Structures are given as structure tokens and as C-alpha cells.
């Protein structure tokens, strides 16, 4: 009897080991899933709609819809965005839209800063403006300072104005123009697209400009909110060769850890090729240089396309993607940094949404963006292991000289450390949160390999509506690269 029991036990053990071996080999290139608590939770019960004609005339249901040029500020426990008035299939109203959110995911419509254009705005633009553009807002000693643009489209007949309020939701008092430009004046800048930033010593600066003349920065008086040296143009910090090459929507953030200022601008056309570029400087007035050391004011033939591209129109598999991903805002919230931007639905570019993305910092101090929209933080600190990365991925590269929609390609990280093929000379390594992809190029690369260095983070997959791992970083030549793990929840 004992022999039978022993024999039966041996058989059971052999069966278990056999099943384990079969499972190991059939799943050797599948991703081990992190515990659910280490991913962001689902942002909603069902995916967010890109297009919904039923809400066109219902502002209370707009959420992220009909948002353009949004800037973001945190007040107490609320996040607020102020944006250019926009409406799909309809004319925009004169005012600046205000939205608020507790989590930067679910947004509710608050109202508008203004109900009508000021007489001064109408007169300055020769009666050829219909709304205020591209606002930014900052809080100084309990007062909110909101800067806005008015412009006669396609001209330098523009001005940046100021409104103030003791409450972030208003009412707002118009304080008139801060800086003005005219076609026939002696300036080169176009006075639109203000962005506010405090320097290391808490001095207030405004970065601004668009197309004509490039991007400038000027110091403001913190007590009045107006220019410290009235009428000056400021310092040129970014430009392009001509108006045939777009540049606008500037913003600046400061990172205390790197002790650097980071300038973001948008290139391309707002409906489709809009893309975000970044450069950095030790001084708030520049010079700002990109990843490859190119100065943002350089307009030589060799450097006409400066700026490290970190965001571009894109599409992952099984999705129509997003166009016009530009005109960003910046937010520092404690130790975390975020970027907001426009995004137009790939199937209908007139539907413009607000996107919020987490900024991730590379090991050498450059800001890159999450491939997925912000869906909150995991409930517990995430620990990603090498085994978690094994499997199939989608990869997108933002080529600097191609601003069209970028599509994803396949990437496989194999258990034996190779990429795509088991006998490949391309390989990958992972340590802490940094993934390195080594691409064999013996006749081109120093040390025989090009190296892509990216950060891995758990995110919510908005395209497949499930948790996943993503990576973001820069290739060795400064090209931004995104990745998203392809997980089949039915496996």
C-alpha cells in the first residue's frame, strides 16, 4: 500500500513538473503582470469618446472636448485649465473657457472669464478678432493674474492683456494691455501666447511670441503684473528661418534637481502637424539649446529645425490616433511635472481634446512624455522587474524631420535578452527603471551599437482600456521614442 502511495505521489509530482515546464516554454516571451494595485486604476467604467455629436451644444458634458491652448494651474485641491474658446461645428464665444478637476482626468466646465470682447481689443485688431486667445494664469500673494491674447489673424496687430481676480473662478477685472505690437512698429515680435514663470529668485517673467520674429522673454513687475521696462521687446530665445516654419505657444518650467530652465514651443500647423519641442538653459534668458547642443535662435541652413521633439501626432495599433498634438501648458505639482496639450481626433480633426501627460525625466536631465494620457498614480509604489518586460511591444519614434502622424511598429523583448529574434545581435538590458536597447551597427556606431535609453512606468492603456507598461526616452541621436507593452487580457 505504501509503495502505491509513493508511486502515486511520484506520478503527481512528475505531472506537475511537466505542466510547469510546458507553461514556462509556451509563455517564455509573455509578460508577467504586475499586481493590479501597482497600476493606475481604470479612469472610468468605459472608454472616453473622441467624438460625440450629442454633446455639441451641452457645455456641461464637454469634459475634455472643445479645448484649445489650455494652460493649467493648481489651486488648493483643484486643477484648473484656462483655454481659447473653441467649439466643433460652431462659432467660438469671446470668452476664455475655464474647467476644473480633482484628478486631471475628469473635467467639469466652470464658465468663461469674459462674456464679450473689450472695446480696446476690437479697436486694436481693426474689428477682426472674435475671441481671446491662448491664456495663462498665475497666483501672486492671493491675487490671480490672467494674461490673454487678442490678434488680427496673420498680422502683428496684437496685444497681450491682463485681468485680475481674488478668486480663480472670477469675477475678473480687465487691467488692459501688457505689451502691444503693430505691423508698422519697430518691433519684430508678435504679442500673443503669453507664458508665466518665476525664476530662482522668485522674479516674474513672461515668455511670448509667435511666427513673426520668434519667441521672446521679458521681465514683469510683480506688484502690477505689467512689464518691468514698459515697451521693451525683451530677449530673443527661439526663432525659425521664416514664417514658412511655424513656432508658437511657448512655456517655461524650472527643475530644481537639474537647476535648469526648460523651454517648450510648438512647431507645425495646429490642425495636424503640431508638435512640441524642448530646449534647456542654465539662465532663464537663455541661451536655450536642444539635446544635440543646437541653439534655439540658430536659423542657419544646418540648424533650421532645432528643438528636441518630445510629442508629435501619433497612432498605436487598433486606434485612429491623435493629430495636432501641440500648444502645451506646464504644471509642477510637488515633485511631479505634467504637460497639457491639444489633441484632435484622428477620424475627425475638428474634435479637439485636452490631454494631460506625465513628464518623465531621463537620467541626463531631459523631460520626456508618457505615451499614455494621465490616469492617476498606482495605489502602491511600482517595482518593475526584468521579467515584467519580456514580451511584445508597440514602438513609436518621433522623427525630427517628419511631423506627420507617426505609427507604431512591433518590438519583441525576448527572455534570452535579445530583441525580436533569438539569434539577433540586438539586445536589451534593464536596471532599476531604465531599459536600454542596443542596436547592432558596426560600421556606424561607436562601440558597434546605437543605444536607446528609456524609462519604464506602469500606465493605463487608453487604446485597449487596460493597464500596461510603457517606456519613454530618447535615442542616442535625440529622437524621442515611445513603447507600450501589448498585453492580451484573455491570456
Given a contact cutoff of 8 angstroms between Cβ atoms, the answer to whether 270 and 326 are in contact is yes
The residue among 315, 344, 369 that closes a domain is: 369
What pLDDT is attached to residue 302? Answer: 81
pLDDT for 8 beyond 60: no
Mean confidence (pLDDT) of the chain: 92
* 318 confidence band (pLDDT: 50, 70, 90): confident
Residue 102, in any domain of the structure: yes
Say how far apart CA 272 and CA 269 lie, in whole Å. Answer: 6
Residue 322, in any domain of the structure: yes
Based on the domain organization, do 75 and 209 belong to the same domain?
yes
Say how far apart CA 429 and CA 435 lie, in whole Å. Answer: 6
Cα–Cα nearest to 436, from 486, 380, 447, 294: 447
What pLDDT is attached to residue 381? Answer: 84
Secondary structure of residue 201 in the 3-state scheme: coil
What pLDDT is attached to residue 9? Answer: 52
Based on the domain organization, do 103 and 177 belong to the same domain?
yes
What pLDDT is attached to residue 368? Answer: 98
* CATH code of the domain containing 184: 2.115.10.20
Based on the domain organization, do 160 and 245 belong to the same domain?
yes
Based on the domain organization, do 265 and 298 belong to the same domain?
yes
pLDDT for 324 beyond 50: yes
- Least confident interval from 11-15, 174-178, 301-305: 11-15
CA distances for 323 relative to 127, 242, 402, angstroms:
31, 24, 13
Given a contact cutoff of 8 angstroms between Cβ atoms, the answer to whether 177 and 119 are in contact is no
pLDDT for 29 beyond 50: no
Based on the domain organization, do 316 and 416 belong to the same domain?
no
Mean pLDDT within 417-425: 97
Based on the domain organization, do 14 and 160 belong to the same domain?
no
Residue 491, in any domain of the structure: no
Say how far apart CA 484 and CA 490 lie, in whole Å. Answer: 18
Residue 48, in any domain of the structure: no
Per-residue model confidence as pLDDT tens digits over 43-69: 999 999 999 999 999 999 999 999 999
Residue 122, in any domain of the structure: yes
Based on the domain organization, do 103 and 203 belong to the same domain?
yes
Based on the domain organization, do 353 and 221 belong to the same domain?
yes
The residue among 345, 369, 393 that closes a domain is: 369
Mean pLDDT within 302-316: 93
Phi-psi region of 489 (alpha: psi -120 to 50; beta: other; left: phi over 0): alpha
What pLDDT is attached to residue 487? Answer: 85
Based on the domain organization, do 290 and 438 belong to the same domain?
no
Domain, as residue range, for 444: 2-40+380-485
pLDDT for 123 beyond 50: yes
Per-residue model confidence as pLDDT tens digits over 66-104: 999 999 999 999 999 999 999 998 898 999 999 999 999
> How many residues can be counted in the chain?
491
Residue 140, in any domain of the structure: yes
Based on the domain organization, do 421 and 314 belong to the same domain?
no
What pLDDT is attached to residue 380? Answer: 86
pLDDT for 215 beyond 90: yes
The number of distinct structural domains making up the chain is 2
Residue 416, in any domain of the structure: yes
Based on the domain organization, do 63 and 6 belong to the same domain?
no
* CATH code of the domain containing 471: 2.40.128.10
Based on the domain organization, do 72 and 161 belong to the same domain?
yes
Mean pLDDT within 435-442: 98
Say how far apart CA 62 and CA 60 lie, in whole Å. Answer: 6
pLDDT for 1 beyond 60: no
* 311 confidence band (pLDDT: 50, 70, 90): very high
Residue 49, in any domain of the structure: no
Per-residue model confidence as pLDDT tens digits over 443-473: 999 999 999 999 999 999 999 999 999 999 9
What pLDDT is attached to residue 27? Answer: 43
The residue among 369, 396, 427 that closes a domain is: 369
Residue 390 C-alpha from the chain's centroid? 27
What pLDDT is attached to residue 21? Answer: 39
pLDDT for 13 beyond 90: no
Amino acid at each position: 500500500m505504501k509503495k502505491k502511495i509513493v508511486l502515486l505521489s511520484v506520478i503527481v509530482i512528475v505531472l506537475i513538473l511537466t505542466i510547469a515546464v510546458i507553461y514556462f516554454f509556451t509563455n517564455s516571451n509573455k509578460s508577467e503582470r504586475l499586481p493590479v494595485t501597482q497600476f493606475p486604476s481604470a479612469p472610468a467604467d468605459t472608454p472616453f469618446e473622441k467624438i460625440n455629436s450629442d454633446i455639441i451644444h451641452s457645455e456641461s458634458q464637454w469634459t475634455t472636448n472643445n479645448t484649445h491652448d489650455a494652460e493649467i494651474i493648481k489651486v488648493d485641491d483643484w486643477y484648473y485649465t484656462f483655454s481659447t474658446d473653441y467649439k466643433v461645428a460652431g462659432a467660438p464665444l469671446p470668452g476664455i473657457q475655464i474647467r476644473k478637476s480633482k484628478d486631471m482626468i475628469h473635467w467639469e466646465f466652470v464658465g468663461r472669464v469674459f462674456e464679450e470682447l473689450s472695446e480696446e481689443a476690437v479697436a486694436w485688431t481693426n474689428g477682426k478678432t472674435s475671441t481671446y486667445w491662448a491664456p495663462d494664469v498665475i497666483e501672486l500673494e492671493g491675487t490671480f493674474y490672467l494674461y490673454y491674447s487678442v490678434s488680427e489673424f496673420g498680422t502683428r496687430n496684437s496685444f497681450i492683456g491682463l485681468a485680475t481676480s481674488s478668486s480663480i473662478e472670477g469675477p475678473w477685472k480687465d487691467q488692459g494691455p501688457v505689451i502691444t505690437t503693430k505691423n508698422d512698429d519697430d518691433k519684430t515680435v508678435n504679442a500673443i501666447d503669453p507664458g508665466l514663470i518665476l525664476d530662482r529668485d522668485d522674479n516674474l517673467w513672461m515668455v511670448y511670441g509667435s511666427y513673426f520674429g520668434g519667441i521672446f522673454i521679458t521681465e514683469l513687475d510683480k506688484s502690477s503684473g505689467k512689464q518691468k521696462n514698459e515697451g521693451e521687446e525683451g530677449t530673443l530665445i527661439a526663432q525659425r528661418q521664416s514664417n514658412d516654419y511655424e513656432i508658437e505657444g511657448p512655456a517655461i518650467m524650472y527643475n530644481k534637481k537639474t537647476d535648469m530652465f526648460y523651454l517648450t514651443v510648438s512647431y507645425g500647423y495646429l490642425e495636424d502637424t503640431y508638435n512640441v519641442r524642448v530646449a534647456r538653459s542654465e539662465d532663464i534668458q537663455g541661451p536655450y539649446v536642444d539635446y544635440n547642443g543646437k541653439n534655439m535662435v540658430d536659423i542657419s541652413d544646418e540648424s533650421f529645425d532645432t528643438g528636441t521633439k518630445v510629442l508629435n501626432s501619433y497612432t498605436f495599433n487598433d486606434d485612429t490616433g491623435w493629430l495636432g498634438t501641440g500648444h502645451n501648458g506646464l504644471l509642477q505639482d510637488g515633485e511631479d511635472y505634467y504637460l497639457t496639450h491639444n489633441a484632435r481626433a484622428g477620424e475627425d480633426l475638428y474634435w479637439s481634446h485636452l490631454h494631460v501627460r506625465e513628464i518623465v525625466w531621463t537620467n541626463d536631465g531631459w523631460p520626456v512624455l508618457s505615451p499614455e494620457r494621465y490616469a492617476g498614480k498606482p495605489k502602491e509604489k511600482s517595482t518593475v522587474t526584468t521579467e515584467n518586460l519580456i514580451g511584445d511591444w508597440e514602438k513609436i519614434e518621433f522623427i525630427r524631420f517628419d511631423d506627420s502622424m507617426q505609427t507604431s511598429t512591433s518590438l519583441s523583448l525576448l527572455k534570452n535578452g535579445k530583441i525580436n529574434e533569438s539569434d539577433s545581435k540586438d539586445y536589451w538590458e534593464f536596471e532599476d527603471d531604465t531599459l536600454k536597447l542596443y542596436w547592432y551597427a558596426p560600421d556606424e556606431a561607436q562601440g558597434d551599437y546605437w543605444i536607446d535609453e528609456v524609462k519604464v512606468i506602469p500606465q493605463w492603456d487608453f487604446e485597449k482600456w487596460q493597464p500596461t507598461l510603457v517606456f519613454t526616452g530618447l535615442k542616442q541621436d535625440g529622437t524621442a521614442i515611445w513603447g507600450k507593452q501589448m498585453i492580451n487580457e484573455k491570456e
